[in-house]
C-alpha cells in the first residue's frame, strides 16, 4: 500500500522505517523530484489574508470566512475512557490513532484550501503553551494550531506563496477601524463574541482579530522585519 504515488523522474535520497501507535510499520522515502512536479497552480496574485486561530472556530480569516469542526477529542472521549478502564490497550491505541488521523485529515484539507486561495497568509502566533495551563487545554490541543501552521507553510510554498507567523498581541482588543483598544480582554472576555467600539463599529471578535493580524503583517513586511 502506497500513501502517495512517487512522481516521474525521482531520485531516492534517504529512507527510514517507523512504527505508528497501532504497531504498523512504514517505509519513509525522501525523494528529489523535478521542479515541474513540485510546484502547483499558484494562488491569485496579491491575495493576502490574516488568520486568527481559535478553539470553537479553529480558523477565521480577515475576509470573514470561518473554519470550524466538532471537538474530535470529545467525540471519542467516552469510548477511550471505557477502553482504558477495561485495560484494553490495543483498543485504546486504535481510538487515539483515529483521533489523530481525523484531526490531521481536517487540517490537511483546510490548509490546502487556504493555500489555493491566498498568496500570502499571516497567521497569528497564539501560544498553545499559555492556554495549556488553563481549563481550555484540551480544546487547544484538539485544535492543532502548530500542525496547521506546518501544513500551511509548505503548501503555500508549493504554490509560490508563503505563510508568515505574526505577533497577534492585542489583536482581539484593538478595533480594526479606529485602532483603539476597546474590545473585551482577559480570560473572562473570551465568551464575548461580538462587541461595539466607541467609534460605532460592531465587531465579530475573531474576524476583527484576523483583520488586525493582516494589518500587522503588512506593517511588518513594510518595515522589513521579515525576509
User: Which mean pLDDT values do the consecutive 10-residue runs of the chain (227 residues) have?
Assistant: 78 91 86 73 88 91 94 93 93 92 95 95 81 71 90 92 92 93 78 89 94 94 70
Give the pLDDT score at 132: 63
Give the pLDDT score at 226: 61
Give the pLDDT score at 15: 93
Do the beta carbons of residue 125 and residue 167 sit within 8 Å? yes
Do the beta carbons of residue 121 and residue 161 sit within 8 Å? yes
* Domain covering 39-222: architecture: 2-Layer Sandwich (3.30)
Do the beta carbons of residue 185 and residue 171 sit within 8 Å? no
Give the pLDDT score at 191: 79
Report the C-alpha gap between 95 and 206 in whole angstroms: 32
Report the C-alpha gap between 141 and 73 in whole angstroms: 9
Give the pLDDT score at 81: 95
Do the beta carbons of residue 77 and residue 85 sit within 8 Å? no
Domain spans of the chain?
A: 1-38, 39-222
Give the pLDDT score at 51: 96
Report the C-alpha gap between 105 and 20 in whole angstroms: 16
Count of CB atoms within 10 A of residue 121's CB? 30
Give the pLDDT score at 40: 76
Count of CB atoms within 10 A of residue 15's CB? 10
Give the pLDDT score at 31: 86
Amino acid at each position: 500500500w502506497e500513501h502517495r504515488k512517487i512522481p516521474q523522474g525521482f531520485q531516492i535520497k534517504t529512507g527510514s522505517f517507523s512504527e505508528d501507535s497501532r504497531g504498523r510499520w512504514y517505509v519513509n522515502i525522501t525523494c528529489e523530484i523535478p521542479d515541474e512536479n513540485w510546484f502547483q497552480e499558484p494562488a491569485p496574485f496579491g491575495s493576502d489574508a490574516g488568520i486568527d486561530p481559535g478553539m470553537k472556530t479553529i480558523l477565521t480569516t480577515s475576509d470573514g470566512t470561518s473554519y470550524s469542526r466538532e471537538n474530535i477529542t470529545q467525540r471519542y472521549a467516552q469510548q477511550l475512557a471505557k477502553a482504558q478502564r477495561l485495560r484494553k490497550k490495543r483498543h485504546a491505541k486504535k481510538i487515539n490513532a483515529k483521533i489523530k488521523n481525523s484531526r490531521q485529515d481536517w487540517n490537511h484539507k483546510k490548509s490546502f484550501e487556504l493555500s489555493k486561495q491566498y498568496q500570502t497568509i499571516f497567521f497569528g502566533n497564539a501560544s498553545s503553551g499559555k492556554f495549556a495551563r488553563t481549563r481550555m487545554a484540551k480544546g487547544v490541543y484538539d485544535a492543532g494550531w502548530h500542525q496547521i501552521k506546518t501544513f500551511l507553510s509548505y503548501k503555500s510554498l508549493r504554490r509560490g506563496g508563503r505563510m508568515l507567523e505574526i505577533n497577534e498581541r492585542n489583536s482581539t482588543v484593538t478595533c480594526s477601524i479606529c485602532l483603539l483598544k476597546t474590545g473585551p480582554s482577559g480570560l473572562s472576555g473570551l465568551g464575548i463574541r461580538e462587541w461595539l467600539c466607541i467609534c460605532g463599529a460592531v465587531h465579530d471578535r475573531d474576524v476583527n482579530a484576523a483583520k488586525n493580524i493582516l494589518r500587522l503583517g503588512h506593517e511588518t513586511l513594510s518595515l522589513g522585519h521579515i525576509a
